[in-house]
Structure 1
Amino acid sequence: MTKRMGYQDWRCLSLWLHYFVLLWSTIDGQTRYSITEELKQGSVVGNLAKDLGLTLSEMFDRKLRVASEAGEQYFTVIAGKGELVVNDRIDREALCGQSASCILPLQVVIEDPLQLFRVEVEIQDVNDNAPKFPSNNIILEIAESTVTGVRFPLESAIDPDVGSNSVKSYTLSKDECFSIVIKEVAGGRKVPELMLSKVLDREKRAVHKLFVTALDGGNPVRSGTSQVTVRVLDINDNVPAFEKPSYKISVAENAAEGALITQTKATDMDDGQNGEIEYSFGAHTSDDVLSLFSIDQMSGTIFLKGKLDFETTVNYELDVSAKDKGNPRMEGHCTVHVEVLDVNDNPPEIILTSHPKPVREDSPNGSVVALISVRDLDSGDNGKVTLHLPLKCKFVLKPSFSHNYALVTSGVLDRENVSEYNIEITATDSGSPPLSSKKIIPVSISDVNDNPPVFTQPSYDVYLKENGVPGSILFSVSAFDLDFGENAKLSYSILDSKVQDVSVSSYVYINSDNGSIYSMHSFDYEKLKVFQIQVQAKDQGSPPLSSNATVHVFILDQNDNAPAVIYPSSAALGSLSHQRMPRSAKAGHLVTKVTAVDADSGHNAWISYRLAEATDASLFTVNLYTGEVRTKRAASEQDDSSQRLLIEIKDDGEPVQSATVTVSILLEDGLHEPMLDLRQKVAEPSKKTGRITLYLILSLASVSVLSLVTFLILAVKCIRNSRSSGSCCMRRSDCDDYKNPNRNLQIQLNTDGPIKYVEVLGGDMLSQSQSFRSCMSPMSEYSDFTLIKPSSTTDFKEVISVLDASLPDSTWTFESQQVSRK
């Protein structure tokens, strides 16, 4: 049974290969070799490298390999010679059975780049098998009354060889009653028949022993012999005869079990039991046929009792025997040819010839991704297969040769959008109804460095207190890269630039791995208020890509400067100032004015004055905001002529910084007389009085004109800047405060960093504090300067004149801040 199953399997494979070869036979460019079977291992088939147009180095570098579609690796390639040699014993009968043509298709796959060749090796038959009968002893029972000329079919000898090497003739040992006749049936098969040449006489000879020899057409000739034993029977001298010697039936392979195949019918001219017929399959019917078909013993009807499979066996030949019940029993024979019709019961199969490799995202259209082939075990339209890809797929299938395709790119790939494609290929045959199958081919997209790093924001503002600890972290910038792997690994660096003519790298440094920026030393707000850092993020791709971001560092003021007394000057007299006042001074008389400044800004620079100690605290008072020293009452003769005042000056910072100044006041008599004379002679015109009056008028007019011109300039600059990219803002709570001349004024132009600005600080000594800030565009080329003057009309005018003459026409932003103080 095992031997017969193997034979059927190889027969199916040979048929499939035969149809496959017929489909491929029209394809140009195929290489074909022809060899005989049973060659020794290592026998040369042909020079494959030469026939494919490849050099030996190309075969090695491109990794040539040979795959057999039959499953067994019968051939291999000698890399050093490029020759295709036999790798294993080839038995043509095992591969192709009785097929007239035996072709082994080979797939030659060459990688880097992928390329597929088809090589066909035709296996020629050699006469290595002798004919063999299924049985070594055939027993026939023939009635003596059998007329001459009656033929009795014998078993055909089986020779696995084909063509001229198969069975060609039969011979029979010498016997005067019998001869052998060769009958050729469908398919060219020769069936020996034993013909009665002379009437039998049981009384003379009851048993005839004959020898049938089958001869093939090979060189040398091979043969096989079987013994035929003829037993001569008496009386029943009519053989049952079928209506037709053969029946041809077509059955679909999906026919249900129990389906009617056909009905055979035989007749016997004898009467009684000699004419009663029983039907059965021939004695040597194979188990495969018996498992699929059954016959009704009385009616001769043949039924299907198993499952047919067109892909396994296409045709069946059933030997039907009709025996009567006579003594001896006579039998007749007929052949039923059952053709199995194909039904579309096999879905197409998609075979991945080469596994896909990662595809670069910048690969051009038409780049080969993978090689695939498709097959369908059905035949005709049922075996015609069409492949489909999803809509809007970035890949297409390019046919190469019979049922082989190349999967190639057809669109722009972007790994950042899609890093892997699962390409679903659908194969559909042309059967009715059509069958289909699907296969998913994963294709990964390899990264190309096509995305520069991107910072979380284009610029950063960092606020840093002065006097910080060197090495402390200032800020951390962060960037990301849409690429992958080395192309997404970022390193941070600071681009070289100048801050106060010094490289920015001397101020800060950056951690190249995480983007953290650290200070190199402590910062002083009074020396540096703002600067910028250009940070670059660069990936490690090839070539590397980079992007920049700007970090604006603003230094915040700390109260680290004590107020400094600038009037009365103490450079020569130490901390003691000598003032004189007439003893005739009335209450509210201005004795002197203490003026101090603070190098800090904002609240840290707000200054207040307090009388800490005095010889007579009831005589003098100090204005909290202006530092003016005035009399609280009129001086008397009882007051000491020498008065000593200790004035404390404090800022508004945290912690509070302070300074002191000692003022010595000398009360003198007689100093009041010129003043009294002046008051008494007010009505008397004089040249000196008129000159003083003129000076006062000019001073007042100058202050008014200067104030008007100043605000006109500021308004014009704001309007000009509002039309460009700059900004201008002025905030005031009370415009009348500008008329108060009692102010300390601090004007500062800063150009440390990319933001240029002028800071004008004014402190109302009586009620409010006010500051103005002007921001200039980063294009300004001017250096920092600070003008600090006591409050006076003349100095204020000079400061404004210096600013107006020094600064370019650029973007200005004035900011006024007022803080009420009680």
Structure 2
Amino acid sequence: MTKRKGCRNWRWLALWWHHFFLLWSTIDGQTRYSITEELKQGSVVGNLAKDLGLGLSEIFDRKLHVASEAGEQYFSVDAGKGELVVNDRIDREALCGQSANCVLPLQVVIEDPLQLFRVEVDIQDINDNAPRFPSNEIILEIAESTVVGVHFPLESAIDPDVGSNSLKSYTLSKDECFSIRVKEVAGGRKVPELILAKVLDREKKAVHKLLLTALDGGSPVRSGTAQITISVLDNNDNVPAFEKTSYKVSVSENAVEGALIVQTKATDMDDGQNGEIEYSFGAHTSDAMMSIFTIDHISGTIFLKGKLDFEANANYELDISAKDKGIPRMEGHCTVHVEVIDVNDNAPEIILTSHPKPVREDSPNGTVVALISARDLDSGDNGKVRLQLPKTSQFALKPSFSHNYALVTSGPLDREKVSEYNIEITATDSGSPPLSSKKIIPVTITDVNDNAPVFTQKIYHVYLKENGVPGAILYSVSASDLDFGENAKVSYSILDSKVQDVSVSSYVYINSDNGSIYSMHSFDYEKLKVFQIQVQAKDQGSPSLSSNATVHVFILDQNDNAPAVIYPSSAAMGSLSHQRMPRSAKAGHLVTKVTAVDADSGHNAWLSYRLAEATDASLFTVNLYTGEVRTKRAVSEQDDSSQRLLIEIKDDGEPIQSSTVTVSIILEDGLHEPILDLRHKVAEPSKKTGRITLYLILSLASVSVLSLVTFFILAVKCIRNSRSSSTCCMRRTDSDDYKNPNRNLQIQLNTDGPIKYVEVLGGDMLSQSQSFRSCMSPMSEYSDFTLIKPSSTTDFKEVISVLDASLPDSTWTFESQQIYSLPHPSSSLMRLNTGIK
């Protein structure tokens, strides 16, 4: 800081007041420096960091910068030393003109957090301008009859400096006829007047040349000169005189063009042309002033020609000249002072001191968004400004000082609802009528990861045909995240779970980018009917958020299995089935029963039987639904003893699958009720009995240890209840050793008159338990117990082979019925029928 030094003289009082105001500024929260104009670039103004109480590291970290309200950036901050230095040449006269005080207000802005300081720099004048006359040569014409003591006003010299450096005095070169006097007019302007000290004698000296010198009060003293050339004229010896030497008038700045400003009047004591007066502006009136005012040359009335602007110029000073038409022409002068009255013609202006910063949506109330200020070029009440925000705004204005405000948050922010605010600030002055302006400040809300991905559905149902191509797309799930950028990027994954004791990842995989689910292999409805997938959607935020959805995949059956003949067993294995029938059989006699099973389900497993070929088509008929072969009529003696039937079995699928079986029937005489005879006949060991024993041993060996334990428990129960029950039924439930999520089966052998049948009951496909049931008629001559574990279609064929071997000379049928419970198949009922000839 440059301080003015002075000795103990008359300046002590001014120095005391200077320190008083500097102390007052510090107390007011402002920092003030004083420097002289024209300092070199880089000159130090003061230690700004120290005066503001900041450390050197804070200058760089908090991004301290200086903004000048004057528009030109005259100062900058040395970040290494914290000093305020001169950035550009400062010309006090260009900045403040003739104003006594020249203060440059600066705004020191510190970010992170935002903070604003006001700094004032007082620009002190130096004597860098010499007085200068508007013209280097002044030409006067003075009549020789002019009386001694007449004053001739001269053009004032101009010195842009102020105070002691401004214009102080004039001197005139030596001449016995003329002297100089300085007259001080309104505003402190010093006007030189040439005084006639001695009567002129044109005949002795027609032209006088004088040198007028203007001196300032600086140190060293600067000066300027003008050459005065005086031509001595004869005759007209009276000068026009104005009624007033100075006129003062006030005009509103909104006065219309042509408005009357003032009327000047001058009189001349001469007669004729020597007394006729013509008015005009002074010879050195600027073009700018003449573009605003005009004068009537005859009446001396001054009118408004252009527009007034109080903010551009609040005062005008016009030099009016009145000349007569005599020879030589005499000239009188007066001054017109025009004061412009301010009107409220400038709307307030809103200025962004710092650009708005993006705000996180979780920012607390009071977070500073931007620094703004307001100004109005008008004066008085017309220049008082107040700022307002909409009532429903999420922001508020926090006053700082001297029309400076901080824009802060005042409510909760949610980027997903509003990602950018256009804050409308209204500035209104206190004029009458008041003027206002608006400014839109855009504020961007930055995202935080506060929203988890959301699936379009919590549960998806996918229906997939079996036997599809591996790698085919099953379904595409989709989740969206309301957040932005990385917080909204969603990746998909499948949570680990088990399907048939195997990880679900071995069945399907998912594209992590788009949520498309693909099959790893082809699915078989007969092995797997339904399974579920847990899909997780996770965003890329920190910390990341996730949500889950369940995908139920239902395998739809296709007609990919042809009916399989399980009885007659020999026909099922490719050989011809031989059946015997008595010639005494009547119409409707049950010859045999063809039994087939279809591994498919629903319509695809509905079987129908048809007699395709026969030796005598009139003798036999086949039941469409049960496959029973019965006689249409009684057998006659004329019928061949050997009959051959070709039976076709079709399912109800699309396309239709079919198979055939050939049955050979031998007609014999004297064959009566073989089944009843067999029931009372004592079985003797034979080759067939040995074969049955082998099958039973193999079947029992294939059952698990747990099944054997269950068998013994059921056998004990059966013995205990044998007295009160004619049928022994054993059940086996296993939830640990025979887990098959595809199928729960119950196999039940029942008697229905002459027909024996086994029921295979299928429970819910998702159940983990299996139930086996085997029942034998008390009329059976075999006491062997057979426990069978159901699995696939091939297993059923093996089951029937075992049962057929256990019950010789019996006839088996297999009926399949599928029951659906939307949205997916839930249970099945299968029945094995056996008929005895």
> Equivalents in 2 of 1:57, 1:674: separation in Å?
112
The aligned counterpart of 1:669 is 670
Residues 1:293 and 2:293 aligned together: yes
2:832 corresponds, among 776, 790, 793, to 790
- Tell me the amino acid that sits aligned with residue 467 of structure 2: N
- Tell me the amino acid that sits aligned with residue 620 of structure 1: F
The aligned counterpart of 1:98 is 98
Distance 1:792 1:53, change over 3 A: farther
For the 8 Å contact 1:528–1:752, the answer to whether it is kept is: no
> Equivalents in 2 of 1:272, 1:620: separation in Å?
164
For the 8 Å contact 2:818–2:828, the answer to whether it is kept is: no
> Equivalents in 2 of 1:674, 1:346: separation in Å?
123
> Equivalents in 2 of 1:218, 1:374: separation in Å?
40
The aligned counterpart of 2:278 is 278
> Equivalents in 1 of 2:430, 2:622: separation in Å?
111
Select between 525-534 and 343-352 the one with higher mean Cα deviation: 343-352
**Structure 2 unaligned residues grouped into runs of 5+:** 1-20, 678-724, 730-754, 773-811
Local SS of the residue matching 1:658: strand
The aligned counterpart of 1:428 is 428
Deviation at 1:351, TM superposition (A): 3.0
Deviation at 1:262, TM superposition (A): 0.8
Question: In the TM superposition, what whole-angstrom CA distance separates every residue of 1:754-785 from its partner, at most 9, and x where no partner exists?
Answer: 99999xxxxxx99x99754568999xxxxx99
Residues 1:748 and 2:771 aligned together: no
The aligned counterpart of 2:594 is 594
> Equivalents in 1 of 2:579, 2:292: separation in Å?
140
The aligned counterpart of 1:486 is 486
Deviation at 1:98, TM superposition (A): 0.9
Deviation at 1:490, TM superposition (A): 2.2
- Tell me the amino acid that sits aligned with residue 790 of structure 1: L
Local SS of the residue matching 1:790: strand
Distance 1:533 1:558, change over 3 A: same
For the 8 Å contact 1:41–1:88, the answer to whether it is kept is: yes
The aligned counterpart of 2:736 is none
Distance 1:663 1:510, change over 3 A: farther
For the 8 Å contact 2:209–2:230, the answer to whether it is kept is: yes
> Equivalents in 2 of 1:334, 1:561: separation in Å?
126
> Equivalents in 1 of 2:224, 2:533: separation in Å?
103
The aligned counterpart of 2:529 is 529
Question: In the TM superposition, what whole-angstrom CA distance separates every residue of 1:704-741 from its partner, at most 9, and x where no partner exists?
Answer: xx9xxxxxxxxxxxxxxxxxxxxxxxxxxxxxxxxxx9
Q: How do 1:76-91 residues align onto structure 2 when only pairs under 5 Å count?
A: 76-91=76-91
> Equivalents in 2 of 1:68, 1:50: separation in Å?
20
Deviation at 1:38, TM superposition (A): 1.7
Distance 1:255 1:341, change over 3 A: same
> Equivalents in 2 of 1:421, 1:673: separation in Å?
99
The aligned counterpart of 2:414 is 414
Question: In the TM superposition, what whole-angstrom CA distance separates every residue of 1:256-293 from its partner, at most 9, and x where no partner exists?
Answer: 22222111112233344443333222222223223322
> Equivalents in 1 of 2:170, 2:139: separation in Å?
18
The aligned counterpart of 1:366 is 366
For the 8 Å contact 1:359–1:445, the answer to whether it is kept is: yes
The aligned counterpart of 2:381 is 381
For the 8 Å contact 2:818–2:829, the answer to whether it is kept is: no
> Equivalents in 1 of 2:424, 2:663: separation in Å?
96
> Equivalents in 1 of 2:437, 2:472: separation in Å?
66
> Equivalents in 1 of 2:339, 2:541: separation in Å?
68
Select between 513-522 and 199-208 the one with higher mean Cα deviation: 199-208
What TM-score, normalized to structure 1?
Answer: 0.76
Question: In the TM superposition, what whole-angstrom CA distance separates every residue of 1:553-597 from its partner, at most 9, and x where no partner exists?
Answer: 111122233334445555999856565544433222223333333
Question: In the TM superposition, what whole-angstrom CA distance separates every residue of 1:396-436 from its partner, at most 9, and x where no partner exists?
Answer: 33333323333333333333333333333333333334433
Distance 1:238 1:525, change over 3 A: same
Q: How do 1:337-352 residues align onto structure 2 when only pairs under 5 Å count?
A: 337-352=337-352
> Equivalents in 2 of 1:350, 1:756: separation in Å?
83
For the 8 Å contact 2:102–2:122, the answer to whether it is kept is: yes
Question: In the TM superposition, what whole-angstrom CA distance separates every residue of 1:65-93 from its partner, at most 9, and x where no partner exists?
Answer: 33333333322222222222222222212
For the 8 Å contact 2:250–2:340, the answer to whether it is kept is: yes
Local SS of the residue matching 2:291: helix
Residue correspondences, number: 700
> Equivalents in 2 of 1:663, 1:546: separation in Å?
70
Distance 1:478 1:659, change over 3 A: farther
Q: How do 1:70-469 residues align onto structure 2 when only pairs under 5 Å count?
A: 70-198=70-198, 200=200, 207-234=207-234, 236-469=236-469
For the 8 Å contact 1:531–1:754, the answer to whether it is kept is: no
> Equivalents in 1 of 2:581, 2:770: separation in Å?
47
Select between 254-263 and 57-66 the one with higher mean Cα deviation: 57-66
For the 8 Å contact 1:358–1:446, the answer to whether it is kept is: yes
> Equivalents in 2 of 1:663, 1:312: separation in Å?
128
- Tell me the amino acid that sits aligned with residue 763 of structure 2: L
Q: How do 1:396-795 residues align onto structure 2 when only pairs under 5 Å count?
A: 396-570=396-570, 579-612=579-612, 614=614, 616-637=616-637, 639=639, 645-653=645-653, 654-660=655-661, 662=663, 664-665=665-666, 667-669=668-670, 671=672, 747-752=761-766, 772-773=819-820, 788-791=830-833
- Tell me the amino acid that sits aligned with residue 667 of structure 1: E
> Equivalents in 1 of 2:498, 2:229: separation in Å?
121
Select between 203-212 and 289-298 the one with higher mean Cα deviation: 203-212
> Equivalents in 2 of 1:506, 1:285: separation in Å?
101
Local SS of the residue matching 1:187: helix
> Equivalents in 1 of 2:767, 2:195: separation in Å?
124
For the 8 Å contact 1:166–1:218, the answer to whether it is kept is: yes
Question: In the TM superposition, what whole-angstrom CA distance separates every residue of 1:156-185 from its partner, at most 9, and x where no partner exists?
Answer: 222111001112223344445544333222
**Structure 1 unaligned residues grouped into runs of 5+:** 1-20, 677-701, 707-740, 759-764, 779-783, 794-822
What TM-score, normalized to structure 2?
Answer: 0.75
The aligned counterpart of 2:697 is none
Distance 1:374 1:25, change over 3 A: farther
Residues 1:48 and 2:90 aligned together: no
For the 8 Å contact 2:578–2:666, the answer to whether it is kept is: yes
Local SS of the residue matching 1:414: coil
